[in-house]
Amino acid sequence: MGDRSIVAYKAYADQHEILDDMVAYHLAVLLRLGYLTDAPVFVRWLDDDNLLVSFQWKDGARRRALVHPDVRNIRLAIGEIAEAKRLSHMPVSFARQSNASAVA
């Protein structure tokens, strides 16, 4: 089974709605390309500025996504409207609690 990504985005001023749309588009592209497993995808606003996103990669898909031009362009566009921080040390218990807003 592939890795789970947990990313926190801090939206820049007046970019919240656009960030919401871009993250949804990013996830849709990853699904269309077959990069994600069937595990639930979680997207939740933690407060007015911070969006938490979590999803499960298929084996090897993270590496393929890094070089795919569509995915790269979306990541660059998100970088223009938000600061992203990968939460690589997120406790598993926290990830289990965040399932209140599953989107897929």
pTM of the model: 0.80
pLDDT of residue 40: 93
Rounded to whole angstroms, how far apart are CA atoms 100 and 51?
14
pLDDT of residue 88: 55
DSSP 7-47: EEEEEPTT-HHHHHHHHHHHHHHHHHTT-B-SSPPEEEE-S
pLDDT of residue 46: 92
pLDDT, one tens digit per residue, over 24-83 is 999 999 999 999 999 999 999 999 899 999 999 999 999 999 999 999 999 999 999 999
**Structural tokens at position 27:** 């996830």
CB 45 within 8 A of CB 58: no
pLDDT of residue 17: 94
